[in-house]
Amino acid sequence: MQRVSNRRRFLELAAMGVATTVIAAACAPASVSSPTQAPAAAGSPAPTQPAAATATQAPSAAAPTPTSAPAPAAGATATPSGFGKFTAQPVTAPPGYTPATGKLEIFSWWTSGGEVEALNYLYGDFKALNPQCEIVNSAITGGTASGGNMKAVLQTRMMGGDPPESFQIHLGHELFDSYVVAGKMEPLDTLYADEGYDKVFPKMLIELASYQGKPYSVPCNIHRTNVLWYNTAMLKDIGAEPPTTWDELLAIAEKLKAKGVGALGLAESSPGPSAQLFESILMGHSFLGPAGYRGLFTGETSWSDPKITDALNLLAKLIPYFNPDYLSVSWGDINDLMINRKVAMMVMGDWTPGVLWSKGFNDFGWADPPDGKGIYAFTSDSFGLPKGVKNRQAAINWLKVCGSKHGQEGFNFYKGSIPARTDADMSQYTDYHKSANKLWTDPKTEIVGSIVHGVAAKPSFNVDFQTAINVFVTKKDVAAAREALLKAAKDAGFKT
């Protein structure tokens, strides 16, 4: 097994890439800040949901111990308290469908509340269509940013010629630079044609799934990465509304500090969360704005722009209002701080509500991040087909489930994201889902790609960006962070 011999190489394996394509639209209206409710419980359990599959812990790049996803038990529910229940007609096989036998191994980093329920919904659909095929759930938790440990193990498996049938990966260069260019993936143009994906996936997602004109992965969702989540009771206690500017947030932070609690939750035991917060600041209207942020990756904006220094100075002002233990808290534990009233707010993606609902917590709301009115930073999870898999029929059938209307409707209900398909029925979805979908589809919305979550830049730059901001929130040296970002940009070939 390949050994990860230094910090930067581990981060490269962990981050593995971001697309150089950044998608634009025009200016957008504000999304209304609202308290959330868990999805309303409805009817009997969906017949296609298996009980939760066990995730694999991987503190390092060691091979996972896979687990078989259990078949759904009669009357069983995969949803913990706090969730509602998505109901749907049983999935049915189309004419000419060939069920798979043998085993289907799936790699992902979906091990938290909401993620597990969403993944198990897809597993339930697959099992209903392929009852003689065993599902091996090789989900691995932990690591840098999104799925660092899983990506490191996957890299070893892929380079060693032992790929799983499919694996979770963000659209764009996270797939291309690591595996497509290296000839490790099969093109999916035949699958796209057979399933009619070109008619139901947005053009921008198809472009991000495609390399040299051919698609290589099937998107199953759209996540917004820049959302302000807040504990409604904590803001009410100090008579505050969700802040719309960073000055307003700092004023709220002072009131919270007087009560002995943090304003913003951060989980920076490894790089990622602080970089996600920083990119949300950078793209804000008072700093680079959406157009200036996009320009960082097209050469229209220089990485020496003084507004980047201004953004670092703002981040420095926010540090005293983080949870005091932010350097030792892991990504998966940040939600507990808001539930337990240790912090009042956090800027995080919309995988957050699924986690909160899974813990039985409903007293939270959402808003645009400060200075981010109408800006939709996004990422998209997808699955592809490695060359040389042991069970190609099972892999193809899995991709069909991931791209199906039935699968995406149930999956995204639990995940907190919105379906990649434009024909999905969202009538059972929460107010948050519907507001995200409205903003995503509004032609005035400014849509930009996340650096941290695999859309805006090449893999090596993503590693360096996350590392620079991680060091900054540790040492609080603006000048050093500025130089680190300039060096990263220069190494990536961006304008400096």
Kindly report which listed range (18-32, 316-330, 350-364) carries the lowest average pLDDT score. 18-32
Can you give the pLDDT at residue 29?
Answer: 33
pLDDT at 46 over 80: no
The token pair that represents 98 in the structure block: 């060939």
Output the pLDDT for position 4: 31
The CA-atom distances, in angstroms, between 473 and each of 117, 127, 216, 430, 451 are 34, 45, 37, 35, 18
Residue 106 has pLDDT above 70, yes or no: yes
Same domain, 198 and 293: no
- 204 and 67, same structural domain? yes
Question: Of 120-124, 170-174, 190-194, 264-268, which range is least confident?
Answer: 170-174
> Are 362 and 408 part of one and the same domain?
no
Task: With beta carbons less than 8 A apart as the criterion, state whether 110 and 119 touch.
Answer: yes
- Which has more pLDDT, 182 or 55? 182
Look at residue 39 in the predicted model and tell me its pLDDT.
46
pLDDT at 88 over 70: yes
Q: What is the pLDDT of residue 173?
A: 75
- What distance in Å separates the CA atoms of residue 330 and residue 303, rounded to the nearest whole number? 30
Q: Are 385 and 166 in contact (CB under 8 A)?
A: yes
One domain, residues 145 and 103? yes
Confidence of residue 460 (pLDDT cuts 50, 70, 90): confident
**Dihedral, 263, 267, 272, 273 alpha carbons, nearest 10:** -20
Q: How would residue 85 be classed by pLDDT, with cut points 50, 70 and 90?
A: confident
423 and 410 in a single domain? The answer is yes
CATH number for position 324 = 3.40.190.10
Residue 16 predicted with pLDDT over 90: no
Residues 287-297 have pLDDT tens digits of 999 999 999 99
The answer to whether residues 338 and 232 belong to one domain is yes
Range of the domain at 237: 227-378+443-492
Confirm if 463 and 12 have CB atoms less than 8 A apart. yes
Q: Indicate the number of domains in the chain.
A: 2
Across 69-83, 253-267, 437-451, least confident range: 69-83
Statement to judge: residues 406 and 357 lie in one domain: no
- Average confidence (pLDDT) over 233-257: 98
Residue 270 lies in a domain: yes
Alpha carbon separation from 179 to 58, 172, 220, 407 (Å, rounded): 22, 11, 19, 26
Contact by Cβ (8 Å): 372, 448: no
Categorize the per-residue pLDDT at 145 as very low, low, confident or very high, splitting at 50, 70 and 90: low
Of all residues in the chain, what percent carry a pLDDT higher than 90? 75
- Is residue 256 one of the residues assigned to a domain? yes
- Provide mean pLDDT across the span 332-354: 95
pLDDT of 63 > 80? The answer is: no
For residue 3, being part of any structural domain is answered with no
| Same domain, yes or no: 218 and 180 | yes
| 312's tokens | 């670092």
What band does 83 get if pLDDT is binned at 50, 70 and 90? low
Over pLDDT 70: what percentage of the chain? 83
Average confidence (pLDDT) over 146-173: 92
Across residues 86-111, what is the average pLDDT?
96
